[in-house]
């Protein structure tokens, strides 16, 4: 007699999604405020670049280590502590008296983000019931939606009230933190016993490490393409006469499209599996991105939506597939597919910038647009876990 499928715990899943939304909402304040910080502290472009790259670097370095500890020690420290740092440090950047303090506060906010992501993402699967793909897509939606609306909110808020009013934004963050304190359970699962980082990797991934490595490579290159387009398309469009407001709307559209596609593809993954959806995403992403590179006028907006829709659709798929293959190391798997892959993809962006300096932005974007279709060879080798 087979057991009935376990029901999803909606209350816990809502809390996990709220964590993702809140943390990413606060950590997304910094990028749209870079021009303001540059004016206040008379920063060079290099100093502005340090602020921008700090978060990606810390995600790159911190998340796998947090994933390691989260799988060894079942505790809420990383979750609640990470959110506390994010909702405290980021609003305080508005009151930073110097560039050095601004960097320290930015670093603390980024560390907070890197702390809660692996633990929270690793908790989704056990509470998802029979629909882990869809549950993770909802969780992912919390983050992508936050990144879409946060720049619009913080630019309005600072324009209306000034940087000095940012610390008041800690109040709603603390209210959310109080709710989470009474709602979020201690992470479930079997503790890993190894005392070393690499021993933990072997224990967590065992014989599936090659599949995990393959998924990770795909996720790094997917993140690289998304970073390159989000970084250099605004520069190209401003040079060609689009207003900053128009460019901001395009980036928001790109992110909202990824929010929608993540939910749709996550829902479908529970029914038709992962590999077909990876194929669909990448084979459609390349032509959309190529058309976007050469588009002009109002065509930019629908192509921006379609490009974001397909290139960002596989983020929840990669994480869920890795967690399915390595149930003992879900936090570590999440940190590799989210923070480590996202951070490495971001740190590779200057490579595209160097080529853009030499050959121009459009040719480099066109080459980056071909990467998804080239990844189909790797996608064809992905495993397809059986549905129970």
Listed range (50-59, 95-104, 120-129) with the worst mean pLDDT: 50-59
Q: What is the rounded distance in angstroms from the CA atom of residue 95 to the CA atom of residue 139? A: 32
Residue 45: per-residue pLDDT:
58
Query: Could you tell me the pLDDT band of residue 3, with boundaries at 50, 70 and 90?
Result: very low
Hey, how many other C-beta atoms are within 10 angstroms of the C-beta on 383? 16
> What value does the mean pLDDT take over residues 84-111?
93
**Residue in 119, 116, 94, 121 with CA at minimum distance from that of residue 177:** 116
Lowest mean pLDDT among 26-35, 69-78, 107-116, 194-203: 194-203
User: Can you spell out the DSSP letters for 280-299?
Assistant: HHHHHHHHHHHHHHH--GGG
Tell me: pLDDT of 373 over 90.
yes
Q: Given this model, what pLDDT does residue 4 score?
A: 44
Tokens matching residue 3 = 């057991």
Q: Is pLDDT above 90 for 168?
A: yes
**Exposed e or buried b per residue across 31-50, where buried means at least 16 C-beta atoms within 10 angstroms of its C-beta:** bbbeebbeeebebeeebeee
Return the percentage of the chain with pLDDT > 90, whole number: 29
Q: Is 185 helix (H, G, I), strand (E, B) or coil?
A: coil
Q: Are 376 and 283 in contact (CB under 8 A)?
A: yes
Decide which of 42 and 87 is more confident: 87
| Percentage above 70 pLDDT, the chain | 89
Mean residue pLDDT of the chain comes to 82
Superfamily (CATH) of domain 195-388: MFS general substrate transporter like domains (1.20.1250.20)
- Per the CB < 8 A criterion, the answer to whether 55 and 110 are in contact is yes
Identify the pLDDT of residue 165: 94
Q: Determine contact, residues 347/57, Cβ cutoff 8 Å.
A: yes
Provide the pLDDT for residue 46.
Answer: 67
Burial of residue 333 (CB within 10 Å: 0-12, 13-18, 19+) is: buried
CATH 1.20.1250.20 residue ranges for the chain: 7-187, 195-388
Tokens read off for 363: 């040719």
Give the mean pLDDT of 354-379. Answer: 90
Q: What's the whole-number mean pLDDT along residues 104-118?
A: 88
- Range name among 87-91, 176-180, 296-300 with the lowest pLDDT average: 296-300
Report pLDDT digits (tens) over 330-353.
Answer: 777 777 787 778 778 877 777 887
Instruction: Summarize pLDDT for 7-44 with one digit per residue, the tens.
Output: 778 888 899 999 999 998 998 888 778 778 888 888 77
Helix (H) or strand (E) holding 6: none
Q: pLDDT-derived band of residue 1, with 50, 70 and 90 as boundaries?
A: very low
Instruction: Calculate Rg over the CA atoms of the chain.
Output: 20
Please count the residues of the chain. 388
Helix (H, G, I), strand (E, B) or coil at 238: helix
130-142 pLDDT tens trace: 777 778 778 878 8
* 156 burial level (CB within 10 Å; 0-12, 13-18, 19+): exposed
- pLDDT, one tens digit per residue, over 259-313 is 888 888 888 887 888 899 999 999 999 999 999 998 878 888 899 999 999 998 8
Mention the CATH class of domain 7-187.
mainly alpha
The Cα 134–Cα 268 span in angstroms is: 8
In a 10 Å sphere around its CB, with 0-12 CB exposed, 13-18 middle and 19+ buried, how is residue 9 labelled? middle
């Amino acid at each position: 007699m087979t057991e009935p499928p376990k029901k999803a715990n909606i209350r816990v899943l809502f809390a996990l999604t709220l964590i993702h939304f809140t943390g990413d909402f606060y950590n997304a304040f910094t990028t749209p405020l870079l021009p303001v910080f540059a004016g206040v502290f008379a920063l060079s472009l290099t100093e502005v670049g340090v602020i921008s790259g700090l978060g990606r670097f810390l995600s790159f370095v911190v998340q796998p280590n947090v994933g390691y500890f989260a799988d060894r020690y079942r505790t809420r420290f990383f979750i609640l502590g990470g959110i506390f740092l994010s909702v405290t440090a980021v609003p305080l950047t508005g009151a930073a008296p110097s560039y050095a303090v601004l960097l320290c506060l930015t670093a603390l906010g980024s560390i907070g983000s890197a702390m809660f992501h692996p633990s929270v993402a690793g908790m989704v699967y056990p509470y998802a019931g029979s629909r882990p793909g869809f549950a993770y897509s909802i969780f992912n939606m919390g983050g992508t939606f936050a990144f879409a609306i946060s720049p619009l909110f913080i630019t309005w808020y600072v324009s209306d009230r000034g940087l000095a009013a940012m610390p008041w934004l800690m109040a709603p963050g603390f209210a959310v933190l109080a709710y989470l304190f009474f709602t979020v359970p201690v992470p479930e699962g079997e503790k890993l016993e190894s005392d070393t980082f690499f021993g933990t990797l072997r224990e967590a991934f065992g014989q599936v490490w090659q599949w995990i490595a393959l998924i990770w490579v795909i996720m790094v290159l997917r993140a690289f393409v998304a970073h390159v387009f989000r970084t250099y398309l605004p520069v190209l469009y401003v040079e060609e006469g689009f207003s900053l407001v128009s460019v901001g709307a395009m980036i928001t559209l790109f992110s909202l499209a990824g929010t929608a596609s993540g939910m749709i593809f996550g829902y479908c993954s529970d029914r038709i599996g992962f590999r077909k959806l990876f194929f669909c995403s990448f084979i459609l992403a390349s032509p959309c991105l190529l058309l976007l590179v050469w588009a002009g006028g109002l065509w930019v907006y629908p192509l921006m939506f379609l490009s974001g829709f397909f290139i960002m659709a596989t983020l929840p798929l990669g994480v869920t597939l890795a967690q399915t293959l390595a149930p003992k190391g879900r936090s570590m798997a999440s940190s590799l597919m989210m923070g480590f892959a996202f951070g490495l993809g971001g740190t590779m962006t200057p490579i595209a910038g160097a080529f853009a300096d030499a050959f121009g932005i459009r040719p480099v974007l066109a080459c980056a647009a071909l990467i998804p279709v080239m990844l189909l060879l790797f996608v064809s080798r992905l495993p397809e876990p059986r549905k129970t």
